[in-house]
């Protein structure tokens, strides 16, 4: 259990810390915030029984250790006041200023909102917090300090709640701390989460590490002694520190690589702090001369820093008795940034090295706002952010030599979107290290990537199955949603025009006032939204048409002639409408086939052949059927499926393929039945222009002597 707090002692320690870097007038402002918060929370206790004010004080003390400014400290002391008391944001702004009030509001949870589930409420709270953080990074620093203290005092919670909070911390808060370069906080949150999420595993591993510490003390002291002597001999003044790997790091390595504890040899590491950047590389050379380096285990994060600004040289050496030893080499400035990350901005304001870190942090924070604008809802936004909080990175180069850091496992599509949204939307191929490769090719460190674009290219929904970066995933989804909305609106307009025509009304004659009345009654945002809903099957065109027609002054019986003088009783299908009109994969209709259309909710208009087996299952949805016809003069390819029973002779497949090619068609897919005897069944999916073209292909295939039977087939499983 967490020991009871000594409030007077904590307050004295907090004031002593403030005195090290704040002016007396600023300390007075922070003191006033403490008094205000104490009065507001008076009588409230934490679950542990401690006075509630002990929690805001602990949060503020954590921020003071990073030397944050008075506004942040005031906000930390008041961060729960809007949730737990009757005090409003306006009252905080009046007393302590707008900046402090905005910070408190950014940290406060959303309330009085109706959500379908706890998960949705959590996602919406995270979205609010992260967007507030994008405007002011102090919001997340307050929230991280808040989460740290909650994790430190989590023992009083029920076991299931402890596990849920620990999992949430591992999934969201620890990765954010890592992304902002707050390494010490990141490690502590991981350790505390591990202890509460898996208490038994934590205790067993803790005991094992204590045992190993005694067994390996001799080896560690021998390495420490050898390194401490080797560096001065090479003329290098350095501080050498031994460090033990954290329990969660050991646990994750055991879990991910399926190792036993005895197989995790490198539980000890060394950190070497030198005076400047060139000395880092001199120290590396001296160590490689002392012990044999492990091939492939050297990483230069100084030349190419991590996305969170972290810089160090990492190398693994084979020490005495064959023990692998991990060594990090960095300067004192790099060490400050490695431990405090973005908080170094307040701790070490005069350091030039922080410029690059601030730029990277700002770029990431801006990307959150961009993700928000392209994400559909809170859950999708949170999913994108989680993807972006990646633990590992791969570094690749553009043709001009610019370095891009991407999530491990990223593809050429991720790179294209990292360069620019337009490049991603228009990419068709790539060259990796001067070799033309598929867009789904996984990138490796050091790859030179060149993207090939085409003016009329567009994102493919299949890209979502292999892109890794949040930016790429968000941009692809946004494009597809926009495209679907445009296509659905165009289809909806055609469906509505058709339905109105049956009522003797032309769509162009529907007055703006009639539309306005309909939008008001139906709760639609706009006319375009109504048309998109019709195209997606969310509204029935006949019902919308009837409502609109009722608002017209005059309706003539019969149909309204179209501009070309013909009465279009059916919707004309081009086959190139995109996602709004879908050709059934069960029957694969092609021009010349008699067709029927059906509006399916969320899918748009589905087109089937009139004898498709799937239609029999949809009798209950007869009200959604619409009349459709092929538009004359269509010039594009369609897919058709055929089944061929042929003699199982050598070379028969080649003859069939040759016959298809001679008939000016292309094979999209081919499969065969597993059971083969005297005959075998082959299934082809072909590209054809229309029914006449398909008939020509079938005639060509019937001329192959081995063909026993040939038919076009529908697949009801689709």
Instruction: Compute the C-alpha angle 712/716/718, nearest 5°.
Output: 105
**CB contact at 8 A, 714 and 587:** yes
DSSP secondary structure, 316-362, as one string: EEE-GGG-EEEEEEEEHHHHHHHHHGGGHHHH-TT-TTHHHHHHHHH
Per-residue b or e along 218-253, where b marks 16 or more CB atoms closer than 10 Å to that residue's CB: ebbeebbeebeebbeeeebebebeeeebbbbbbbeb
Q: For residues 503 and 552, give the distance between their C-alpha atoms in angstroms, rounded to a whole number.
A: 11
Task: Work out the end-to-end distance of the chain between its first and last CA atoms, rounded to an integer number of angstroms.
Answer: 59
User: Sign of dihedral through CA atoms 630, 631, 632, 633?
Assistant: negative
Beta strand 571-573 with 628-630: parallel, antiparallel or unpaired? parallel
Beta strand 324-331 with 403-407: parallel, antiparallel or unpaired? unpaired
Using a 10 angstrom Cβ sphere, with 0-12 exposed, 13-18 middle and 19 or more buried, the burial of residue 90 is exposed
440 in helix, strand or coil? coil
Q: For residues 614 and 598, give the distance between their C-alpha atoms in angstroms, rounded to a whole number.
A: 12
Using a 10 angstrom Cβ sphere, with 0-12 exposed, 13-18 middle and 19 or more buried, the burial of residue 261 is middle
| Residue 578, phi-psi category: left (phi > 0), alpha (psi -120 to 50), beta (remainder) | left
Q: Which two tokens stand for residue 115?
A: 């959500």
Instruction: Compute the C-alpha angle 492/496/501, nearest 5°.
Output: 150
84, 155, 171, 276: the catalytic one is 84
Whether 621 is a known active-site residue: answer no
Phi, psi dihedral angles at 117 (to 5 degrees): -155, 165
Q: Which two tokens stand for residue 536?
A: 């997606």
Residue (of 155, 193, 182) closest to 65 by Cα position = 182
Instruction: List own/partner pairs for 201-209 with CB under 8 A and 24 or more apart.
Output: 201/251, 202/247, 202/251, 205/247, 205/250, 205/251, 205/261, 206/247, 208/261, 209/244, 209/247, 209/250, 209/267
Q: For residues 178 and 388, give the distance between their C-alpha atoms in angstroms, rounded to a whole number.
A: 12
Specify the length of the chain in residues.
718
Q: Which two tokens stand for residue 178?
A: 């890592």
For residue 411, give the DSSP letter: B
User: Sign of dihedral through CA atoms 430, 432, 436, 441?
Assistant: negative
Q: For residues 153 and 170, give the distance between their C-alpha atoms in angstroms, rounded to a whole number.
A: 16
Q: Which two tokens stand for residue 375?
A: 């994400």
Q: For residues 534 and 626, give the distance between their C-alpha atoms in angstroms, rounded to a whole number.
A: 12
Q: For residues 60 and 106, give the distance between their C-alpha atoms in angstroms, rounded to a whole number.
A: 16
Q: Alpha helix (H) ranges present in 601-665?
A: 652-662
Instruction: Compute the C-alpha angle 646/651/653, nearest 5°.
Output: 55
10, 50, 61, 83: the catalytic one is 83
DSSP E strand stretches across 139-227:
none
For residue 613, give the DSSP letter: G
Whether 83 is a known active-site residue: answer yes
Q: Alpha helix (H) ranges present in 404-526?
A: 412-419, 421-426, 470-502, 512-522
Q: Which residues are catalytic?
A: 83-84
């Amino acid at each position: 259990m967490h020991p009871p707090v000594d409030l007077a002692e904590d307050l004295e320690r907090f004031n002593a810390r403030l005195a090290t870097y704040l002016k007396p007038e600023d300390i007075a402002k922070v003191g006033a915030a403490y008094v205000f918060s104490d009065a507001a929370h008076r009588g409230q206790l934490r679950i542990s029984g401690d006075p509630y004010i002990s929690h805001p004080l602990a949060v503020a003390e954590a921020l003071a250790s990073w030397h944050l400014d008075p506004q942040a400290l005031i906000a930390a002391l008041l961060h729960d006041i809007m949730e737990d008391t009757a005090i409003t944001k306006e009252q905080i702004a009046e007393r302590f200023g707008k900046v402090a009030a905005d910070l408190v509001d950014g940290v406060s949870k959303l309330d009085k909102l109706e959500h379908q589930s706890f998960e949705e409420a959590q996602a919406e709270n995270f979205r609010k917090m992260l967007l507030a953080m994008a405007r002011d990074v102090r919001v997340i620093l307050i929230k991280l300090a808040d989460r740290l203290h909650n994790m430190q005092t989590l023992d009083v919670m029920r076991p299931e709640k402890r596990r849920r909070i620990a999992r949430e911390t591992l999934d969201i808060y620890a990765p954010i701390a890592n992304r902002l370069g707050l390494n010490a906080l990141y490690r502590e949150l991981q350790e505390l989460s591990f202890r509460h999420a898996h208490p038994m595993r934590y205790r067993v591993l803790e005991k094992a590490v204590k045992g190993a510490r005694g067994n390996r003390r001799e080896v560690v002291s021998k390495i420490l002694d050898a390194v401490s002597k080797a560096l001065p001999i090479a003329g290098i003044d350095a501080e050498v520190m031994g460090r033990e790997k954290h329990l969660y790091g050991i646990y994750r390595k055991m879990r991910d690589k399926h190792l036993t504890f005895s197989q995790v040899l490198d539980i000890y590491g060394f950190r070497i702090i030198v005076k400047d950047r060139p000395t880092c590389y001199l120290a590396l050379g001296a160590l490689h001369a002392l012990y044999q380096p492990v091939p492939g285990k050297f990483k230069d994060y100084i030349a190419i820093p991590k996305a969170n600004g972290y810089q160090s040289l990492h190398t693994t050496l084979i020490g005495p008795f064959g023990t692998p030893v991990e060594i990090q080499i960095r300067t004192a400035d790099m060490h400050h940034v490695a431990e405090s990350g973005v908080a170094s901005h307040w701790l070490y304001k005069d350091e030039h090295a922080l410029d690059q870190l601030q730029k990277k942090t700002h770029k990431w924070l801006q990307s959150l706002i961009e993700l928000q604008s392209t994400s559909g809802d809170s859950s999708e936004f949170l999913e994108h952010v989680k993807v972006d909080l990646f633990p590992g990175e791969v570094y690749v180069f553009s043709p001009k030599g610019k370095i891009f850091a991407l999530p491990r496992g990223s593809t050429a599509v991720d790179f294209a979107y990292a360069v620019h949204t337009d490049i991603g939307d228009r990419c068709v191929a790539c060259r990796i290290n001067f070799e033309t490769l598929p867009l789904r090719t996984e990138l490796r460190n050091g790859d030179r990537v060149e993207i090939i674009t085409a003016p009329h290219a567009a994102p493919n929904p299949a890209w979502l199955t292999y892109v890794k970066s949040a930016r790429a995933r968000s941009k692809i989804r946004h494009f597809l949603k926009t495209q679907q909305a445009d296509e659905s609106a165009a289809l909806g307009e055609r469906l509505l025009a058709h339905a109105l025509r049956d009522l003797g009304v032309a769509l162009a004659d529907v007055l703006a006032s009639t539309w306005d009345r309909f939008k008001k009654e139906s709760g639609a945002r706009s006319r375009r939204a109504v048309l998109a809903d019709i195209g997606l099957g969310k509204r029935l065109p006949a019902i919308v048409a009837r409502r609109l027609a009722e608002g017209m002054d005059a309706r003539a019986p019969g149909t309204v002639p179209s501009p070309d003088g013909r009465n279009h009783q059916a919707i004309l299908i081009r086959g190139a409408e995109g996602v709004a009109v879908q050709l059934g994969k069960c029957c694969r209709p092609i021009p010349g086939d008699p067709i029927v259309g059906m509006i399916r909710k969320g899918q748009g208009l589905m087109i089937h052949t009139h004898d498709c087996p799937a239609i029999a299952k949809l009798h209950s949805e007869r009200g959604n059927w619409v009349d459709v016809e092929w538009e004359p003069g269509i010039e594009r390819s369609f897919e058709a499926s055929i089944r061929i029973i042929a003699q199982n002779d050598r070379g028969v497949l080649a003859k069939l393929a040759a016959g298809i090619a001679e008939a000016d068609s292309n094979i999209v897919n081919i499969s065969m039945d597993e059971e083969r005897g005297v005959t075998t069944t082959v299934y082809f999916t072909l590209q054809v222009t229309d029914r006449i073209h398909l008939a020509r292909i079938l005639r060509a295939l019937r001329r192959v002597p081995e063909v026993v039977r040939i038919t076009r087939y529908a697949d009801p499983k689709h």
